[in-house]
Amino acid sequence: MAIQVFADEELARLREFPDISREELFRFFTLTPADIAFLTPGRGRGPAERLGLSVALCALPWLGFVPDKVAGTPAVAVARLAEQLKVDASLIRSYGKRAQTRTEHLRLAAQYPGWRSGTAMELKELDEILLARAMEHDSPTLLFRLGCEYLLSARVIRPSPDTVVRRVVHAHEQAQRETYDRLAHELTPGRCAELDGLLVTDSSIRMSRLRWLSTGPVEASAAAVRNEVEKLGFLRGLGADTLDMSVLPAERRRFLATLGRRLTGQALERRDPERRYPILLTVLAQSGTDVLDEVVALFDQSLSAKFSAAENRMLAELAERGKTGEDRQALLDELLSIIIDPQIPDEDVGGLIRGEGIGWERLRAAKAQAKPRLPRDHGHLAALDTSYSYLRKFTPAVLSAVRFAGGTTATELLIAVDMLRELNATGRRKVFDDAPTGFVPTKWRGYPEEARKSGNAVAYRHYWELCVLLGLRDWLRTGDVYVPGSRRYADPAAYLLTPDQWEPQRAEFCRLVGKPADPAQALAALTDEWGAAVGELEQVLAAGDGPVRLDEAGDLVISPLTAEDIPTEAIALKAELTEMLPFAPIVSLLIELDKRTGYLDCFTHAGGKQTRTPELKRNLIAILLAGATNLGLTRMADATGISYDILSWTQEWYVREETLRAANLAIIGYHQRLPLTSIFGAGTLSSSDGQRFPTRGKSTTARTVPQFFADQGLSTYTHVTDQHTTYGTKIIVTTRREAHYVLDEILGNATDLPITEHATDTHGITLVNFALFDLLGMQLSPRIRDLGKITLYRPGPRADAEARFPHAGPLLTRKLNLDLIAEHYDDLLRLAGSLKFGHATASLLVGKLSASGRQNALAAALKEYGAMRRTVYAARYLSDPDYRRKISRQLNKGESIHALKRGLIYAHDGAFRARHLEAQTEQAWCLTLATNAVIAWTTEYYGLAVEQMRRQGRRIDDDVLAHISPAHSENINFFGAIEVDIDAELAALGPTGYRPLRVRDTLF
């Protein structure tokens, strides 16, 4: 059984001492005075016995067991213990020749700090822990590690690896049986037959239904919407919408669904029924939610595409109307010049207009050219009406398949949706006389009213139906209308902790973020902070001669910051370091970095398979490079000589977002520990920005934006620390607001970096973000374009603000609604707490709250709070030029990372060719991982070069080093032949484990 989990050499390693890090060395191999007293020679022990016993004493809290080969203890650990005991470290080789001595010392080392051997009771508790974890995680190696961590925390000496492995395998098999038993009530004979039918090729679609369900759309078209609606109907026919999978832990459901989507139909058919049916049932349930979300998303995207096209037509018509109206405009100018001229008597005005001044001919021609007056929206809805027949190809199907719900504010719209659904079902053409219109925006009301007055029932139906569809789209975005059973378009209240859930967590949340629970106390502190910030701005404006000042009209003038002076020493030092750093192909760099970080071990098999072939790391590096450089698997197979089938299989089962994230964290963690890293930044500040890439082929994430792309493109939204590493990457639609995604990666940040402040450009800010950052105990620090034109707020009357701050007071043009904030303060904390505790995704909530109107009281209170926070920030930002430079410097770090990525993703003109979001996300993470590898490698070799310079007597100040960016690619070759030979690369590193630095002014 053990060999199925670990290879023989892996089992052997589990019995021995592993390598030890610097942190572990100091943490576990530092003896206290009590420890030394315990090891005293007065107990009849010689130096070798004392040294061996001290190893056992330190190994237990480090590993949870003491390896038999005590002589294999890491040399640095032995040397550290020998120094503290004042004995010869070489004596460790003569220790423990008698097994009885080692056994007795293990007993003493365990008894002293309270460790115990595993009895039947402890092992039973281990079995229960393993079963609970096995219901969440299907990886035996992970279960083995979790089991060892439990034994370590319980101070139970770990038994042999074979014993633990047997219990892991037993728990693994028991979890599979438990999974089946919990779902047995759903697995009736009829249901099982339907599930088996998913694996059979359907001649009507030329593929199995399982593959059909797992294949997402690549464009937002009427045909794509209808196809997803068909999937939804098929799933509901199988009862997917009524399945209750809550009997399984969320991680178990996620694992089974991932497995089901990756396995072929033949592979699933070969699985035992106890294994096959839970997998298929989980895929069915997840597909029910995913397809429902996809239907609504495609409805929004398809309708919005025609809405945008109608806007473009409207603008073109307005431009043409402007051109044809030039003569009428010229005539109007001449008329006005005659009419308002005081030198022309009133009785002569008519003659001049009709006579030789202008003449009847021009007047009649202008009258003939007259066009009807435009409606309030300048004809936008009328332009959309030309796409009415296209919209009818899919909107009836969506309304028939999807049920909508909402609050009282959405009552009229929901009634209208039900009526439209009935009109579609019955084929009735005329709108019901009592059909509501209160939901129609003011700018569009003229269309249906005019059609009703003229008796044009067809036009009225068109305009009323378009208003219903657009209203439904907009209210789905705000959350005022939601879709039961959906995840992305669910009731916004479902994203928040319930009052009962919030009550016991309020105090803990307030402690974590440093906020008072009492609204009066919170508003008093906020008002004081506002007064201090505006006071600082008042002093700057009173001086009147700085870069931030008031002009003669009292308007705010903000002079741009001068370019930051980079010390000449830093420029010269960067050139020296570049000459000293070795040259390395990108493939060699990835191999070398894995030796020190082990990041390739983070790529685990999606199905829990444990055996790892010797070629796996080679294949993984080729796949990472294929994504990062944009070569793709086909060209990478040609370049490396590795079979395309092997690369494709490895990518399918090992390379996915979760493993890429884990590998990226391993590299970031290593980079954090490098001596030079802390000079770049403290790790508390980060920034985020979007980077645009062109796309090839159709994709639901791609958009046409002429100012950025020749055809279509997408954006990657990345989060970068002040230490130059990227800890978050997300694919977003270029036309969507970046501000919605700012908090996602910060709240999901799994690094050890304590991010407390975050910078963005103008695209990353909303009032909602200002409020949420503060409520979460962080600072949003954006660089705002046209900062002097934003609205600034005051908590009290205008007269009080201007009396207190004569210069800054007049700039505070709006009064805050503090009563609204106080009334909803606990709900604001509950909203932030829902994000903090992972109950909701920030981008979903921020998007809905930002789009919500003033009728949503919570959104209105949040925006009021955000307005106050933005005013405080703006006042401080304007008052401190050093702070402004700090924010610009951080944003520039993000730009340098973008430039490095542009250099890496060189193939195929840097265009993403993957069509589905999952594959695009994986490629973005491959690019991020390779970028971070370059950053970590360069930082490390910069450090080695600086250390060598200092040993030679050079003085190099940290202040100078802080200006040198490791986003540096001059010493790394991204191009040329790609040969993934791990053994040869590692052998070339030499005894130090590093490449030799180059001698200056030479090429080698």
pLDDT, tens digit, for every residue of 726-744?
999 999 999 889 999 999 9
Cβ atoms 413, 468 nearer than 8 A: yes
Query: pLDDT value at position 989?
Result: 82
Tallying the residues shown for the chain, one arrives at 1004
On the 0-12 / 13-18 / 19+ scale of CB atoms within 10 A, 981 is middle
The residues pairing with 730 across neighbouring beta strands, listed in sequence order, are: 717
Higher pLDDT, residue 748 or 858: 858
Sign of the dihedral defined by the CA atoms of residues 215, 221, 227, 233, in that order: positive
The answer on pLDDT for 77 being more than 50 is yes
Rounded distance between C-alpha atoms, residue 812 and residue 538, angstroms: 12
Rounded distance between C-alpha atoms, residue 691 and residue 475, angstroms: 29
Q: Fill in the DSSP letter of residue 780.
A: E
Higher pLDDT, residue 975 or 690: 690
pLDDT digits (tens, 9 = 90+) for 708-723: 888 899 999 999 999 9
Q: What is the pLDDT confidence band of residue 43, given thresholds at 50, 70 and 90?
A: low
Cβ atoms 770, 754 nearer than 8 A: no
* Lookup result for tokens 């030029």: 881
Query: pLDDT value at position 98?
Result: 78
Rounded distance between C-alpha atoms, residue 205 and residue 740, angstroms: 38
The answer on pLDDT for 184 being more than 50 is yes
CA atoms within 13 A on the CB side of 991: 0
Cα-to-chain-centroid distance, residue 244: 29
Q: What is the 3-state secondary structure (H, E, C) of 700-725?
A: CCCECCCCCCCCEEEEEEEEEECCCC
Cβ atoms 460, 451 nearer than 8 A: yes
Query: pLDDT value at position 840?
Result: 85
Query: pLDDT value at position 657?
Result: 93
The answer on pLDDT for 142 being more than 60 is yes
Query: pLDDT value at position 768?
Result: 93
Percent of the chain with pLDDT over 90: 58
Cβ atoms 74, 20 nearer than 8 A: yes
Query: Which of 22-26, 208-212, 386-390, 884-888 bottoms out in mean pLDDT, i.e. has the lowest?
Result: 22-26
Query: pLDDT value at position 1004?
Result: 38
What DSSP assignment string belongs to 794-825? ESS-HHHHHHH-TTTGGG--EE--HHHHHHTH
Query: pLDDT value at position 323?
Result: 78
Cβ atoms 118, 231 nearer than 8 A: no
The answer on pLDDT for 593 being more than 80 is yes
pLDDT digits (tens, 9 = 90+) for 794-822: 999 999 999 999 999 999 999 999 999 99
The answer on pLDDT for 278 being more than 70 is yes
Rounded distance between C-alpha atoms, residue 739 and residue 734, angstroms: 12
Cβ atoms 116, 157 nearer than 8 A: yes
Q: Fill in the DSSP letter of residue 643.
A: -
Rounded distance between C-alpha atoms, residue 640 and residue 318, angstroms: 57
Q: What is the pLDDT confidence band of residue 751, given thresholds at 50, 70 and 90?
A: confident
What DSSP assignment string belongs to 589-629? HHHHHHHHH-GGGG---TT------TTHHHHHHHHHHHHHS
CA nearest to 621, candidates 930, 914, 158 = 930
pLDDT digits (tens, 9 = 90+) for 826-881: 999 999 999 999 888 899 889 888 887 666 889 999 999 999 999 999 999 999 98
> For 614-627, what is the mean pLDDT?
94
Mean pLDDT of the chain: 89
> For 418-429, what is the mean pLDDT?
94
Query: Which of 566-580, 670-684, 945-959, 989-1003 bottoms out in mean pLDDT, i.e. has the lowest?
Result: 989-1003
Higher pLDDT, residue 43 or 327: 327
Contacts of 428 (CB under 8 A, 6+ apart): 422
Higher pLDDT, residue 323 or 186: 186
The residue type at 50: R
Rounded distance between C-alpha atoms, residue 226 and residue 894, angstroms: 42
Contacts of 719 (CB under 8 A, 6+ apart): 686, 687, 688, 726, 727, 728, 729, 745, 746, 749
Rounded distance between C-alpha atoms, residue 343 and residue 66, angstroms: 110
Higher pLDDT, residue 232 or 142: 232
Query: pLDDT value at position 360?
Result: 82
Cα-to-chain-centroid distance, residue 682: 22
E strand or H helix at 549: strand 548-550
The answer on pLDDT for 1002 being more than 50 is no
User: Six-digit token pair at 942?
Assistant: 């910069």
Query: pLDDT value at position 466?
Result: 96
Query: pLDDT value at position 854?
Result: 60
> For 58-62, what is the mean pLDDT?
91
E strand or H helix at 14: helix 8-14
Q: What is the pLDDT confidence band of residue 1, given thresholds at 50, 70 and 90?
A: very low
CA nearest to 904, candidates 511, 589, 509 = 589
Higher pLDDT, residue 136 or 30: 30
Rounded distance between C-alpha atoms, residue 257 and residue 271, angstroms: 15
Sign of the dihedral defined by the CA atoms of residues 935, 941, 945, 947, in that order: positive
Rounded distance between C-alpha atoms, residue 728 and residue 720, angstroms: 7
CA nearest to 764, candidates 742, 786, 790 = 742
CA nearest to 379, candidates 445, 455, 317 = 317
The answer on pLDDT for 956 being more than 80 is yes
How many helices (H) and strands (E) the chain has is answered by 46, 15
Percent of the chain with pLDDT over 70: 97
- CA triplet 686, 687, 689: central angle to 5 degrees? 155
The answer on pLDDT for 1003 being more than 70 is no
What DSSP assignment string belongs to 335-378? HHHHHT-TTS-HHHHHHHHHTTSS-HHHHHHHHHT--PPP-TTT
Cβ atoms 423, 438 nearer than 8 A: no
Treating both helix axes as pointing N-terminal to C-terminal, what angle do 857-879 and 881-904 enclose, rounded to 10 degrees? Answer: 110
**How far separated are the first and last CA of the chain, in Å rounded?**
52
Rounded distance between C-alpha atoms, residue 804 and residue 532, angstroms: 12
Query: pLDDT value at position 1001?
Result: 45
Ramachandran region of residue 173, left (φ > 0), alpha (ψ -120 to 50) or beta? alpha
E strand or H helix at 311: helix 273-324
> CA 167 → CA 9, 150, 275, distances in Å?
20, 13, 20
> CA 620 → CA 7, 81, 653, 683, 972, distances in Å?
20, 40, 11, 30, 20
Rounded distance between C-alpha atoms, residue 978 and residue 636, angstroms: 8
pLDDT digits (tens, 9 = 90+) for 193-238: 999 999 999 989 899 999 999 999 999 999 999 999 999 999 999 9
**Beta sheet of 712-721, edge-to-edge order:** 726-732, 712-721, 685-695, 757-759, 779-780
The residue type at 627: G
pLDDT digits (tens, 9 = 90+) for 658-687: 999 999 999 999 999 999 999 999 999 999
The answer on pLDDT for 3 being more than 60 is no
Query: Which of 394-408, 518-532, 782-796 bottoms out in mean pLDDT, i.e. has the lowest?
Result: 782-796
CB 826: neighbour CB atoms within 10 A?
15
Q: Fill in the DSSP letter of residue 998.
A: P
CB 408: neighbour CB atoms within 10 A?
8
The b-or-e profile of 186-201 (16+ CB within 10 A means b, else e) is bbeeebbebbbebbee
CA nearest to 485, candidates 295, 701, 740, 227 = 295
The answer on pLDDT for 356 being more than 80 is no
Query: pLDDT value at position 365?
Result: 80
Sign of the dihedral defined by the CA atoms of residues 105, 111, 113, 119, in that order: positive
Rounded distance between C-alpha atoms, residue 682 and residue 661, angstroms: 22
CA atoms within 13 A on the CB side of 90: 0
User: Six-digit token pair at 674?
Assistant: 């490098």
The answer on pLDDT for 113 being more than 90 is no
Q: Fill in the DSSP letter of residue 561.
A: P
The answer on pLDDT for 48 being more than 90 is no
